[in-house]
Structure 1
Amino acid sequence: MTALLHDAAEAAALLRAGELVAFATETVYGLGADARNDRAVAAIFEAKGRPHFNPLICHFPDAEAAWAEVRADGRARALAAAFWPGPLTLVLPRRADSRVALLAGAGLDTLALRVPAHPQALALLRAAGTPVAAPSANRSGRVSPTSSAHVLEELSGRVAAVLEGGECAVGVESSVLDLSSPGGAALLRPGGVPAEAIAAVVGPVGRPVPPGAGPAPTHRSPGLLLSHYAPTLPLRLEADAAAPDEALLAFGPAPPGAGALFQLSAARDLREAAARLFAGLRALDAAGQRQGLRGIAAMPIPAEGLGEAIRDRLARAAAPR
């Protein structure tokens, strides 16, 4: 049963315990989890029925907390000074020592982050003491929620609690600006901060191609490319076993003989497997290169629940490059 809460400290305690909590921002209600907890982040995708592991926006109580996780240049700091707290998300290079779960960034070398303007959201983030990953609090593909009633209609029984925050003032999602390349700024999603206002701070901004108006832009955009942040070693799917010169990404009982092994979930738990997927690919890629292995073999994943998202990511990682 999903609880309706009015106390940010109580909601923060649930987040620290690995539970999901929906909360109001000035844009829409977000479905929050401790961004440093792999299993909690995986639970977001499960609760939403999200078909792909798209990067999630990580929320922070202030800019300095955000800068601890990413490399922020002068453009990012100027935009934060102008629009944070507020409906602007920045995509920046992830720091090597970032503790945010790889799944929250969809395994990319960037993180999307913002400081929300809603006072209750800021109170929750300060009380939680951890970055909070939060997409919109609705089923995947459905209309974004702007009230607690909307969230309960969509996700009752799928999340631990909804923190009552009233109606959302902005009502559309944040603008998402990619600053991961030093050569320019690219607007990945229009939203609460107009592109003209962003350009007034950082200069010309690349615009997204409208749906149906042409090919998708080639700048970094979650989940659009067929071969999407693949390991260096080639990846073989639906493998029953691995040769001595291959690494094995295992799901369930692992056959012997692989040159290196990473177990996604011995118990065949899809949430555990989702939480460990990106770390597993990175670990096997590094081990394989150290040992001179020729590739990575991935055991079959069932096409149900989170398995659909895992299979999607593996298919992209195995695609021709």
Structure 2
Amino acid sequence: MEIQKISTDEVKQAAHYIQQGELVAFPTETVYGLGASALNPQAVKKVYQVKGRPSDNPLIVHVTSFEQVKEYIQESHPLAEVLVQTFWPGPLTIILPIKPNTFDTVVTGGLATVAFRMPDQALTLELIRQAGVPLVGPSANLSGHPSPTTAEHVIHDFEHSIKGVLDGGPTKIGVESTVLDLSDPNKPPMILRPGAVTKEMLEQACHTPVAVDSHLLRADEAPKAPGMKYKHYAPVVPVQMVHEQEWEQVASYLAHHPIRAGILAGPTAAEVVRGEAAAVYMYADDSVQAATQGLFSGLRALDETKAGLDCLYVATYPEDGLGVAYMNRLKKAANQMYFTNNETEV
């Protein structure tokens, strides 16, 4: 079965595939999701199978409104309403306790909670409405690899294993949503995965401190939310992170060693090392917004280049605001490894 690229005027066809238990990838403002009916355990099992995703890794359920969420939850956190009113539709996922027997354990990862999100993408909201069911939607990539930000990325990973991909063009943000744990109404919110909705934005909206879970899970630990594994989002070619002041050292090292290196950075940093690199992928500009939008597509482009690269050197950004989400993904893609004269440090 060859994957079908579904145009924006064929949403009804995509919804029909979902109703038939097929898998259809869909666009969001963050990354592309691999969609299946959240109420069809057999379809959800196919999501795990084609992704190669660990069965203990819970899925995000995509909805069209908070009213739809209320059909499934046991109780709501007192801050849930204000956060939803502020950030939905948008890149915020909230974890809430669910009623018994609402979702199969294949969706919940065996937990008594589910992560819900309303994406800011009109095509996908219409897909959910026409399908008549909430959709699971993990990133539409092979598990552990860079997430997809275009329909072409999805086709590359799943050319013969899913029914179709709804093409909404390149995603706007480029990294997955913020995941906020609201599972205990008596505890303050906690960020389990950073995204474009930052800690500062959340605290401003709910007028209370928001905690951050900075614990990185080992391979044998079960996550409470997607993307919490120690190594994740990684291309095949090894990645090393490079601080802003170290690019001249990278250029010097490459000039004296027979290494075929790929560079992923903003224009200013890339220019420093361009002459010594085998391949360069530049962000649109030097901003963290451009870096975040281009991180996964850049990792994919360099990983797939015909240059036969030995390693990728990728620019770091300050860990504040959106930079927290960018560095969260980059550290996992690099397995925490930094450049230091071709040695590595954690």
Shorter-chain TM-score tier: 0.5 to 0.7
The equivalent of 1:22 in structure 2 is 25
1:72 partnered with 2:76: yes
CA distance in 2, matches of 1:160, 1:218: 30
> After superposition, what is the alpha-carbon deviation per residue over 1:72-113, rounded to whole angstroms, capped at 9, x for unaligned?
233111110000000000000012352x32211112100001
- Structure number with the bigger relative contact order (C-alpha 8 A, sep ≥ 6) is 1
CA distance in 1, matches of 2:204, 2:48: 36
Q: 1:135 to 1:190 in 2, by over 3 A?
A: same
1:154 partnered with 2:157: yes
The equivalent of 1:248 in structure 2 is none
CA distance in 2, matches of 1:219, 1:24: 24
CA distance in 1, matches of 2:83, 2:134: 20
Q: 1:222 to 1:11 in 2, by over 3 A?
A: closer
Could you tell me which amino acid in structure 2 is paired with residue 19 of structure 1? E
CA distance in 1, matches of 2:165, 2:95: 27
Q: 1:146 to 1:119 in 2, by over 3 A?
A: same
Contact 2:31 2:174 in 1 (8 A): yes
CA distance in 1, matches of 2:98, 2:215: 28
Q: 1:208 to 1:16 in 2, by over 3 A?
A: same
1:102 partnered with 2:105: yes
The equivalent of 2:6 in structure 1 is 5
Selected match of 1:201 from 198, 201, 205: 205
CA distance in 2, matches of 1:154, 1:33: 17
- SS at 2:79 equivalent: helix
The equivalent of 1:301 in structure 2 is none
Q: TM-score, normalised by structure 1?
A: 0.65
Contact 1:53 1:223 in 2 (8 A): no
Q: 1:151 to 1:200 in 2, by over 3 A?
A: same
CA distance in 2, matches of 1:158, 1:29: 16
CA distance in 1, matches of 2:226, 2:123: 29
Q: Runs ≥4 in structure 1, deviation > 3 angstroms?
A: 217-225
- SS at 1:92 equivalent: strand
CA distance in 2, matches of 1:223, 1:151: 18
> After superposition, what is the alpha-carbon deviation per residue over 1:11-68, rounded to whole angstroms, capped at 9, x for unaligned?
0110010000001001000000000001100000101011343110000011111121
User: Larger deviation: 180-189 or 25-34?
Assistant: 180-189
After the TM superposition, which residues 115-194 of structure 1 pair with which residues of structure 2 at under 5 Å, given as runs? 115-181=118-184, 182-194=186-198
1:3 CA drift (Å): 0.7
Q: What residue ranges of structure 1 are gaps of 5+ in the alignment?
A: 226-321
CA distance in 2, matches of 1:22, 1:64: 24
CA distance in 2, matches of 1:40, 1:159: 11
CA distance in 1, matches of 2:222, 2:167: 39
1:220 CA drift (Å): 4.9
Could you tell me which amino acid in structure 2 is paired with residue 184 of structure 1? P
1:210 CA drift (Å): 5.9
The equivalent of 1:112 in structure 2 is 115
1:118 CA drift (Å): 0.6
Percent of aligned pairs sharing the same letter: 40
Could you tell me which amino acid in structure 1 is paired with residue 203 of structure 2? A
Q: TM-score, normalised by structure 2?
A: 0.60
1:218 CA drift (Å): 11
Contact 2:58 2:224 in 1 (8 A): no
CA distance in 2, matches of 1:111, 1:3: 30
Could you tell me which amino acid in structure 2 is paired with residue 207 of structure 1? V
Q: 1:191 to 1:4 in 2, by over 3 A?
A: same
Contact 1:52 1:223 in 2 (8 A): no
Selected match of 2:91 from 61, 69, 87: 87
> After superposition, what is the alpha-carbon deviation per residue over 1:115-143, rounded to whole angstroms, capped at 9, x for unaligned?
00111011111111101001000000110
Contact 1:186 1:219 in 2 (8 A): no
Contact 2:57 2:223 in 1 (8 A): no
Contact 2:57 2:222 in 1 (8 A): no
CA distance in 1, matches of 2:61, 2:192: 16
CA distance in 2, matches of 1:74, 1:180: 11
Could you tell me which amino acid in structure 2 is paired with residue 167 of structure 1? P
Q: CA RMSD in A?
A: 2.5
Contact 1:66 1:114 in 2 (8 A): no
Contact 2:61 2:136 in 1 (8 A): yes
Could you tell me which amino acid in structure 2 is paired with residue 84 of structure 1? W
Could you tell me which amino acid in structure 2 is paired with residue 80 of structure 1? V
Contact 1:45 1:53 in 2 (8 A): no
CA distance in 2, matches of 1:28, 1:222: 13
Q: 1:28 to 1:222 in 2, by over 3 A?
A: closer
